[in-house]
Amino acid sequence: MAHVLITGGCGFFGAWILRKLFDAGHTPTVWDLELNPKRWLMILTPDEVAKVAFASVRVDDPDAVKAAMLEANPDAVIHLAGLQVPTCKKDPIAGARVNVIGTLAVFEAARALPRKPGLAYASSAAVFGSDADYDHQAVGDASWPRPGTHYGAFKLCNELTAKVFWTDHGLSSAGFRPLTVYGPGRDVGLTSFPTRAVAAALLGQNFEIPFSGPTCYTHCAEVAGYFVAAALAAKREGAPVYTVGGEVADSKTFVEKLSRHVPEAKALVRVSGGDLPIASHLDDKPLRQAFPQVKRIGLDEGIGMTVEIFKKLKARGELAAG
């Protein structure tokens, strides 16, 4: 069984990756700014939560990262810590410190370990520009990145950095570029509104999704599967980056699908605004070839899974407003 370190592990992806690691009998360590198990408690048992080793480590503090990495000496690292699109827009310098310097710090520390760990990290489909930038054609691993946000530019920088760590130091890694990941625990960021609409509808609250255009939806359990499979792969080479596809839907279609599970959504959830600045038609053939073992989860199934967990949280009085 492997010891897996997750940076930013108190966040949304972190919770779902912990779920996968416990299901497979692995031992997790989490680094984050501070211990906040609220998302873990949505999908882990209290016993599992108690088993997570936690350390408060800021990834933008390279010395602290190096010392903590040597102490943890993990078999694999899943690097998720980062600031999202709105925060990077408001404060690009803070964004670069965490997203760029933080990623460099994690890679530098990983290469200094006595035995090179498996390494998977979160990039983003925000490395692409808008649908209009690509004449509304599908984009994929071979497409020219044209980030339209600081966040996307930082993620692209990290992908290039990862490739240099492979050529300079033989440190292999796998990066993933998802777009709109949804499910319990998704509560911050530009594309968090659809998940928050699910919670609002179940709570009988009005809610507005502030973009109407299409986006590519991937369920969190599927995304967690890719990170874990890559970090623990027996054979690792190079620094591939995988575009993560899913089901494309505009916000009206999302609300229609949600209404099949929560009929109140039709009246409660409104849609406003225009398109997202990130291309929605994502070609992920290389991802599917590399990770055939990871089960795809369609949007209807994923909304159903989300509703089921939110209903349980609501019954316990723990479902937060959208």
User: How far, in Å, CA of 175 to CA of 130, rounded?
Assistant: 21
Report, in Å, the least distance between residue 267 CB and ligand NAD.
27
Smallest distance from ligand NAD to CB 7, Å = 6
Complex with ligand NAD: residue 34 or 168, whichever CB lies closer:
34
Q: Which burial class, exposed, middle or buried, applies to 138 when counting CB atoms under 10 A from its CB (0-12, 13-18, 19+)?
A: middle
Q: Which is nearer to ligand NAD, 15 or 265 (CB)?
A: 15
Least distance in angstroms from the C-beta of 179 to ligand NAD:
6
Return the residue nearest ligand NAD (CB atom): 11
Of the two residues 7 and 172, which places its CB atom closer to ligand NAD in the complex? 7
Minimum CB distance to ligand NAD smaller for 147 or for 315: 147
Contacts of 159 (CB under 8 A, 6+ apart): 123, 127, 175, 239, 241
CA nearest to 258, candidates 315, 183, 318: 183
Q: State the nearest-atom distance from the C-beta of 261 to ligand NAD, in Å.
A: 20
**At closest approach, how far in Å is the CB of 204 from ligand NAD?**
26
Q: Point out which residues bind ligand NAD (CB under 6 A).
A: 7-8, 10-14, 31-33, 58-60, 80-84, 98, 102, 122, 124, 178, 180-181, 188-189, 191
Which stretches within 46-192 are classed as H helix?
A: 46-51, 62-72, 85-90, 92-96, 102-111, 150-169
- Whichever of 264 and 298 has its CB closer to ligand NAD, that residue is 298
CA of 282: how far to CAs of 132, 140, 175, 222, 259, in Å?
A: 14, 6, 15, 16, 26
Structure tokens at 258: 């949600």
